[in-house]
């Protein structure tokens, strides 16, 4: 399956263009065709970690199913709040330009003061308290919490994005997602390197 065909089979995510294009195509090659990297494991594809993590987050968002009453209209944006991860914030702003998720435009913010409504909360590793002090903003709300710290998906977070030896992987807690009414499209299981925590994969 080629990157072009991947984008065609994922509703709501158009092929990327503009800034950050190379990193997103690289990520797709790693996730969907890992055997390509395995052909020469001593020289895995190279890209900065923030590029890979931001690209992976944008890649999985079309598979997220928020409760039906989450958006008032099809014009309401998917709002991503990035806390203590400036490089990932920058990459997400690039990747989200002219992109839509399920027909919704994408807005990326970096401070709580910029938005009152959040659909995705990315907690950077520099935020040592994890979800602790942010919990009041997401408790009992359909917010996809995403982190990059060891154990994030085992301590209340929904998605944890990890990169080791230039290879990105995901840890996903279906239990944490179900508590706030979030589900995942079964096609997400087609992506490689996903570890499902507290539940089997959605296939």
Cα–Cα distance between 194 and 173 in angstroms, integer?
11
The CA-based angle 95-129-145, given to 5 degrees, is 40
Q: What is the pLDDT of residue 193?
A: 78
First to last CA, the chain: 19
Q: What is the pLDDT of residue 197?
A: 86
Q: What is the pLDDT of residue 161?
A: 94
Residue pair 190/203 in contact by the 8 Å Cβ criterion: no
- Is pTM beyond 0.75? Reply is yes
Q: Which two tokens stand for residue 127?
A: 């935020």
Q: What is the pLDDT of residue 139?
A: 75
What are the pLDDT tens digits along the chain (203 aa)? 444 443 444 444 444 444 344 444 445 554 544 443 444 444 545 678 998 899 889 989 999 999 999 998 888 999 999 988 999 999 999 999 988 998 999 999 988 777 778 999 999 887 766 566 676 667 778 999 999 988 888 888 999 999 888 788 899 999 999 999 999 998 887 777 788 886 655 55
Residue pair 165/193 in contact by the 8 Å Cβ criterion: no
Cα–Cα distance between 174 and 118 in angstroms, integer?
19
Question: In sequence order, which residues have a C-beta less than 8 Å from that of residue 118 and are 6 or more positions away?
Answer: 79, 80, 81, 137, 138, 141, 143
Ordered by start, the domain boundaries in the chain are 3-197
């Amino acid at each position: 399956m080629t990157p072009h065909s991947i984008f065609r089979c994922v509703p709501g995510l158009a092929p990327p263009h503009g800034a950050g294009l190379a990193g997103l195509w690289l990520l797709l090659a790693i996730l969907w065709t890992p055997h390509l990297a395995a052909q020469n494991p001593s020289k895995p594809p190279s890209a900065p970690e923030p590029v890979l993590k931001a690209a992976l987050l944008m890649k999985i968002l079309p598979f997220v199913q928020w409760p039906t009453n989450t958006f008032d209209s099809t014009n309401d944006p998917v709002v991503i709040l990035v806390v203590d991860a400036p490089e990932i914030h920058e990459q997400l702003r690039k990747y989200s330009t002219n992109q839509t998720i399920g027909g919704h435009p994408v807005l990326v913010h970096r401070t709580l003061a910029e938005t009152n409504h959040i659909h995705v909360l990315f907690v950077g590793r520099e935020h040592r308290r994890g979800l602790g002090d942010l919990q009041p903003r997401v408790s009992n709300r359909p917010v996809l919490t995403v982190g990059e710290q060891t154990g994030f998906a085992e301590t209340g977070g929904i998605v944890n994005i990890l990169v080791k030896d230039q290879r990105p992987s995901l840890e996903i807690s279906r239990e944490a997602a179900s508590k706030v009414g979030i589900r995942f499209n079964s096609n997400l299981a087609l992506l490689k390197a996903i570890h499902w925590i507290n539940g089997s994969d959605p296939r």
